[in-house]
Amino acid sequence: MIAELGLAALWLAAALCALQLLGGALAQRDENSDLARLVRPAAIIQGLLAGFAFLMLLWLFYVTDLSVKLVATNSHSAKPLVFKLAGAWGNHEGSMLLWITVMALAGGLIALVERRLPEKTMLATLSAQAFVGLGFYAFLLLSSNPFERLPQPALEGIGLNPLLQDIGLAFHPPTLYFGYVGLSVAFSFAVGALLTRQVNPNFARAMRPWVLGAWIFLTLGITAGSYWAYYELGWGGWWFWDPVENASLMPWLAATALLHSVGVLAARDALRTWTIMLGVIAFSMSMLGTFLVRSGILTSVHAFAVDPERGSFILVLLLLYIGGSLLLFALRAGTVSEGERFSVTSREGALVFNNVMLSALLGIVLLGTLYPLLTEAFDVRVSVGPPYFNPVGAIFTIPMLLIMAVGPLLRWRGDSFARIKNSVAIVAAIMLAVLALVLILGSYGLLPVLGLAVAAGLAVGSFLPLRGRNLLRAPLSLWGMVIAHFGIAVALFGMASETAFSEEKLAAVPVGESAEVGPWDITLEQVAPVAGPNWTAIQGRLAASYDGGDPVLLTPESRNFWAPTQETTESTLATRWNGQLYAVIGNQAADGRWQLRLWWKPFVTFIWYGGILIALGGLLALIGRLRTDLKRRYVKSRQADRAKEAAAL
């Protein structure tokens, strides 16, 4: 019954979505028609219905209803509760339902609160949102029904992929999805504005919170994904340039560019067409990412829930959305009048530079990710990895970060570098000092050394915009920018340190003996079997002592899950302020020695602290912007009231 309720709600939501699309489109002729008045309520109720359907799915997983195919294939009665619930979206059908739920709720929210834009543009936006949504409803209802029943109930479920039974990963996909869906809203705004040719600062202010929100979630999602891959896969790496990782990085790059250009449009009424273009590209990248991940068209160790038939469905949607919006863009871009002018050396100029570099980076990642597909068409199989991405990416990243360190100091419209030469000198001096210091310390390879120097310069540079300001009075959005830029410096420092200073030790150690890596001395005290709720494991007990200090206990495991049967490696970490010790236990060699893989990774945690800081900066900016908007709206309504009173007198 519950499953049928969910399915019914979903069909009803799809019907409302169709109404929203039609109503919004027809309202372009007459924005006061009865149909036009239906659009907003339709969007709101559609959001509620989709939310209801998702709750029903959660409920089915909560009670482990094994008559539902999705539950039987992805859950198990013995699974911990949180993973039962996470099982609802830890698969293709459930994650698509989550996607559409978030999208419908976002559409409902716009319909409920957004009153800033001309009504016609708003209705066009809701119509565009419904256009995207309808494709997903069709996908869900026609080829991936999450509520499908089994002919007869299963006795027991198959379980969730053990690698996904991890608290970090349970919440990682929804985080990314919030980001993707936020970009779909930005896309709808862009299409809506193109349809009514209303591209102006007001439009940018309406779109910005959605871009910011999406960007925050993407940042958190990528950070969490990187940390998950780092500790769960047991390889000790934090980024593999795997297609699935790239699939999340590409929308982030586009969203970062969009975030900055939408800021220029809001503040200075420049970069109109460029912002629209980025709005289209950012969402296209999230669709492309979904396609790459879901279709299994690329070799990836991360690819779950792969199905070529569904891949082609997404491909059709992808072509429809990207093709349609680009066509619209081509038709309309010329009629969006040119914005305000600015000179090359200005805040806008720096932001354009950042945008160009980000776009170049996006192109590089995109090419590298798709290249294996292209060559395979000619029957040549290749894999593209760090030897391509790292150096080629760095060529564009480093100049971008340098401009980023000083760009925020420039004034809008027109400025000269001479005015900010002191600040530039400070940043340059710090970079050179760090560069010299690292070169004296030893030889570490070009990229990490440059990374350390740029990180130091950027760390200082990011705080310079606060110089000479009253720190308490500085706007929240300024603080947001400062913290986000500082976060980039922190993450970069972590990446460069990890690459430059990591030490690795592979050893076969008998019980009672010890091994050394970096400043650590690690003794293998014991190896014993342990059991968990749905797995058994071999657990090593390691006493690790830093520089002769008190030992910490580490317990790496090699786990065997029995539903489904699978072996996983559970690494363990000892975290200190200056780095992490990473330990993995392997097989037992014939003579009784145990394989240990140990890493000492100085400052590796800064990579993810940086990610969190970046997201925090985004959050501060978002709060600051929303507050300013509310204030502005309040002032406006007061003015209107006063005008009314005056008129009455």
Partner 1 sequence: MSAVLKAKHQRLVLIIIALIAIIGAGLLASYALRNEASLFYTPDQIAADPPAAGQAIRLGGMVQEGSLSTMEDGITVAFIVTDKESSTVTVRYTGILPDLFVEGSGVVADGRLDANGTFIADELLAKHDENYVPRELQDMDQHSPDKTLETLESVT
Part of the chain binding partner 1 (CB under 8 A), chosen from 6-14, 26-34, 166-174, 501-509 = 501-509
Part of the chain binding partner 1 (CB under 8 A), chosen from 79-87, 155-163, 310-318, 546-554 = 155-163
According to CB under 8 A, which residues from 313 to 372 bind partner 1?
A: 341-344, 349, 352-353, 356-357, 359-361, 363-364, 367-368, 371-372
**First-to-final CA distance of the chain:** 63
x/- mask, partner 1, residues 380-409, rule CB under 8 A, reads xxxxxx-xx--xx--xx-------------
Quote the least distance from Cβ 75 to partner 1, whole Å.
12
Quote the least distance from Cβ 588 to partner 1, whole Å.
9
Part of the chain binding partner 1 (CB under 8 A), chosen from 2-10, 48-56, 139-147, 585-593 = 585-593
Name the token pair of 639. 């003015």
CA distance 178 to 180: 6
Cis peptide before 162 (omega within 30 of 0): no
CA distance 137 to 541: 51
DSSP β-bridge partners for residue 601: 580
CA distance 106 to 430: 45
Q: Does 589 contact partner 1 by CB under 8 A?
A: yes
Quote the least distance from Cβ 16 to partner 1, whole Å.
34
Chosen residue from 595, 609, 623, 628 binding partner 1 by CB under 8 A: 595
What letter would DSSP give residue 149?
B
Residue keyed to tokens 């929303």: 626
Chosen residue from 586, 623, 626, 629 binding partner 1 by CB under 8 A: 586
Three-state SS for 231? Answer: helix
CA distance 19 to 569: 50
x/- mask, partner 1, residues 292-321, rule CB under 8 A, reads ----x-xx-xxxx-xx--------------
Q: Closest Cα to residue 412, out of 478, 348, 344?
A: 348
Q: Which is nearer to partner 1, 80 or 308 (CB)?
A: 308
CA distance 540 to 315: 47
Quote the least distance from Cβ 429 to partner 1, whole Å.
27
Quote the least distance from Cβ 309 to partner 1, whole Å.
11
Q: Does 73 contact partner 1 by CB under 8 A?
A: yes
CA dihedral 196, 201, 205, 211 (to 10 degrees): 80
Chosen residue from 565, 575, 637, 639 binding partner 1 by CB under 8 A: 565
Q: Which is nearer to partner 1, 341 or 642 (CB)?
A: 341
Quote the least distance from Cβ 646 to partner 1, whole Å.
41
Q: Which is nearer to partner 1, 274 or 608 (CB)?
A: 274
Q: Does 506 contact partner 1 by CB under 8 A?
A: yes
CA distance 349 to 268: 12
Q: Does 92 contact partner 1 by CB under 8 A?
A: no
DSSP β-bridge partners for residue 68: 149
Quote the least distance from Cβ 619 to partner 1, whole Å.
31
Q: Closest Cα to residue 213, out of 189, 191, 230?
A: 189
Q: Does 567 contact partner 1 by CB under 8 A?
A: yes
What letter would DSSP give residue 505?
E
Q: Which is nearer to partner 1, 114 or 348 (CB)?
A: 348
According to CB under 8 A, which residues from 615 to 634 bind partner 1?
A: none
Part of the chain binding partner 1 (CB under 8 A), chosen from 94-102, 149-157, 223-231, 417-425 = 149-157
Chosen residue from 138, 163, 328, 476 binding partner 1 by CB under 8 A: 163
According to CB under 8 A, which residues from 204 to 243 bind partner 1?
A: 233-235
x/- mask, partner 1, residues 521-560, rule CB under 8 A, reads -------------------------------------x--
CA distance 441 to 80: 49
Quote the least distance from Cβ 160 to partner 1, whole Å.
10
Three-state SS for 262? Answer: helix
Part of the chain binding partner 1 (CB under 8 A), chosen from 95-103, 291-299, 526-534, 609-617 = 291-299
Q: Does 445 contact partner 1 by CB under 8 A?
A: no
Mind giving me the DSSP string for 274-292? HHHHHHHHHHHHHHHHHHH
CA distance 173 to 175: 5
Quote the least distance from Cβ 571 to partner 1, whole Å.
10
C-beta neighbour count of 282 within 10 angstroms: 32
Q: How many residues bind partner 1 (CB under 8 A)?
A: 76
Q: Rg for the chain (alpha carbons), in Å?
A: 27
Contact residues for 549 (Cβ-Cβ < 8 A; gap 6+):
none
DSSP β-bridge partners for residue 535: 561
CA distance 423 to 405: 9
